[in-house]
Structure 1
Amino acid sequence: MQSTLDVITYGEAMAMFVAAETGQLADVFQFTKRIAGADLNVAIGLSRLGFKVGWMSRVGRDSFGQYVRDTLAKEGVDAACVTTDERYPTGFQLKSKNDDGSDPAVEYFRKGSAASHLSVEDYVPAYALSARHLHLTGVAPAISGTSRELAFHLAKEMRAAGKTISFDPNLRPTLWPSREAMVAALNSLAAHADWVLPGIGEGEILTGYTKPDDIARFYLDQGARGVIIKLGAKGAYFRTADAAGSVAAQPVEKVVDTVGAGDGFAVGVVSALLEGRPVGEAVARGNRIGALAIQVIGDSEGLPTRSELDALEHPQITNMTPVTAVTQTENKVSQTLH
């Protein structure tokens, strides 16, 4: 078992079958198999950037479960706390293909899955507390009551140990018994986080406020160090106790698949904060990686490696002309003009 981690997260991974053609899912005959899971997307994204990441979950003893394990190994995500459940299967989903940039239709087959049986019994203190940061989403707490207990337990234990926590609400209303239950649970979980990362629509549902500043103040009053609100094409808004501001969105020529944009944003923000960068730079990186995520099919396929990110943040200058040569050229032009 790996003794020291940068980040730990937990949740459910599923095999995802993406339609090879547009149209209703019932009419599609060919699909491509990929991996899906909000928290796993973040784990993969941070691992590609060079962080040591651990992911906790349960998978079934089936081909989908093996596919999840193979993906973890390929992406360098530590799986020491991924349990193979002998009783329950790994979930899967179907996703439509859209050419107009709209959200695809997704059908889930996850009820009673191995991951839905996650509980506090899956918590291994030595493993979790070796990490310096915990990233939580609102998906894992929604899949079952026992998984929700694990989310709160992780948050309380990590907070007590002086670790930092980020929380992306990532709302899944259909998984909750009621909207009221969802709002109460996720706001309570957010109260344990240092950084809260809702989308503007999620913030409206969870707080009742419509303006980014009011949504941010709601979570700051609960104890968050900072709140970063995704505004879609308008970029993102951030607020801490000391500063507030907006960061413009990264231009995208064509949107291919909107699923995974928020996870890419979280990868950018969390990675930059863990590097000690200012919040404005963290938000800018979040916008940048979120934009990459929506330009390809698949939830994690667009997440960059460290070298790819460095090339975007620090582009190399090519065909650079020495200053002396420029000066000589300017002098010749000047002499010609006179």
Structure 2
Amino acid sequence: MEMGGIASVGECMLELSGGSGGNWRMGHAGDTFNTLWAMRALTPETIAADYVSAFGDDPFSADQRNFFADHGIGTAASPVIPGRRPGLYAITLAGAERSFTYWRADSAARCLADDPQALEKSLEKRALVYFSGITLAILEEPARKTLIAALETARENGSRIAFDPNYRPRLWASPEAARAAIDAALAVCDIALPTFPDEAELYGDKDLQATMRRLAEAGVGEIAIKNGAEPTLLSAGGGTVLIPAVAVADPVDTTGAGDSFNGAYLAARVAGLAPETAARRAHKVAAAVIQVHGALAPFSVLREAFAEA
């Protein structure tokens, strides 16, 4: 089967940012969309890029799909759900560090796995499929199982599956539920891109090496453990290596840094670059992203950083 195209599965929300003086900017963002944004910027236009989700039938949902299309991102066979709408979140900043307030109970994306045939169609013949722990967390248990089954089918048909556990406690009923779902996801993934503080919180890992051992024992063959401004621990093909982060003296906004790392890393891997080269390029891109406001850096910023690495 000829493989081509990339897909990211999850929830893209309306983003309110820059709310000083009561004046807010509205954009579109969410962890898996932020990652696809970077992949779209850093892969040739001949490679299709699709955001696999579910959308509402309201004007904001239509604007969101138009925004995707304007930037070369499709939606494959993602359904439009009557009466649903996008989730919404607002970013508040303390210096460069951010916090989030969410409104997402009626999010259409919670229905992304309600049509198994549409989901499988959206994932067909993909060179790479990406998803996250937040993708899992917004779904009910039966829908999580449907998604994992669709990912397993895509993998059996030749797709590489990439996953960031991205643990957010408030989205889960319990740590036990999160661990069960994330463990099931790890069983069908080829590339894991976790963040160490998340793994330490959920699994009690004492250090990066403990996280690396656990993921390797789960059968993941390629692992890049992010750790903020500290080096990334990378394992692919047997050995491990620390890849230093790129220092930024005065970051503007850390929103989307890890997501952009993931997108740059995966774009490099889709292009056939070695894992170590991919991680170095990913750090350069993440460093560029935290020097601009918002989760979605301009394509030109992403491309310049990626080319310089």
TM-score, normalised with respect to structure 1: 0.84
| Other-structure match for 2:5 | 6
Larger Rg: 1
Aligned residue pairs, count? 303
Gaps of 5+ in 1: 22-27, 314-338
User: Alignment partner of 1:131: what SS?
Assistant: coil
Q: Which moved more, 1:295-304 or 1:232-241?
A: 295-304
| Other-structure match for 1:194 | 190
**Could you tell me how far 1:116 is from its partner in structure 2?**
1.1
- The reply on whether 1:167 has 2:156 as its aligned counterpart is no
Larger RCO (CA within 8 A; separation ≥ 6)? 2
User: Any residues of structure 2 matched to 1:103-252 within 5 Å, and which?
Assistant: 104-124=98-118, 125-145=120-140, 146-252=142-248
For the aligned residues, what is the CA RMSD?
2.0
> For the structure 1 residues 120 and 86, does the alpha-carbon distance in structure 2 shift closer, same or farther, using more than 3 Å as the test?
closer
**Could you tell me how far 1:193 is from its partner in structure 2?**
0.9
Deviations 1:114-165 (A, max 9, x none): 1112225154334412211111111111012154234312321122213211
Distance 2:167 2:260 in 1: 16
| 2:278 partner letter | A
| 1:260 partner letter | G
**Could you tell me how far 1:184 is from its partner in structure 2?**
1.6
Distance 1:69 1:88 in 2: 14
**Could you tell me how far 1:306 is from its partner in structure 2?**
7.2
Deviations 1:179-207 (A, max 9, x none): 11111211221121111111111221343
User: Alignment partner of 1:81: what SS?
Assistant: coil
Distance 2:56 2:121 in 1: 25
> For the structure 1 residues 257 and 154, does the alpha-carbon distance in structure 2 shift closer, same or farther, using more than 3 Å as the test?
farther
Distance 2:18 2:115 in 1: 37
| 1:155 partner letter | L
| Other-structure match for 1:67 | 63
Deviations 1:261-295 (A, max 9, x none): 11101011111111221211111111111112211
> For the structure 1 residues 253 and 294, does the alpha-carbon distance in structure 2 shift closer, same or farther, using more than 3 Å as the test?
same
TM-score, normalised with respect to structure 2: 0.91
Deviations 1:190-234 (A, max 9, x none): 121111111111221343222111211111111111211111111
| 1:114 partner letter | A
| Other-structure match for 2:80 | 84
> For the structure 1 residues 277 and 19, does the alpha-carbon distance in structure 2 shift closer, same or farther, using more than 3 Å as the test?
same
User: Alignment partner of 1:277: what SS?
Assistant: coil
> For the structure 1 residues 239 and 4, does the alpha-carbon distance in structure 2 shift closer, same or farther, using more than 3 Å as the test?
closer
- The reply on whether 1:276 has 2:272 as its aligned counterpart is yes
Tell me, yes or no, if the aligned pair for 1:213 and 1:239 is still in contact at 8 Å.
no
**Could you tell me how far 1:239 is from its partner in structure 2?**
1.7
User: Alignment partner of 1:154: what SS?
Assistant: helix
**Could you tell me how far 1:311 is from its partner in structure 2?**
4.1
Deviations 1:226-271 (A, max 9, x none): 2111111112111234211111111213212112111101011111
Tell me, yes or no, if the aligned pair for 2:77 and 2:121 is still in contact at 8 Å.
no
| 1:160 partner letter | E
| Other-structure match for 2:54 | 58
Distance 1:303 1:94 in 2: 23
Distance 1:208 1:20 in 2: 36
Percent of pairs with identical residues: 25
Gaps of 5+ in 2: none
Deviations 1:164-189 (A, max 9, x none): 11111111211111111111211221
Match for residue 47 of structure 1 among 40, 44, 49: 40
| 1:15 partner letter | L
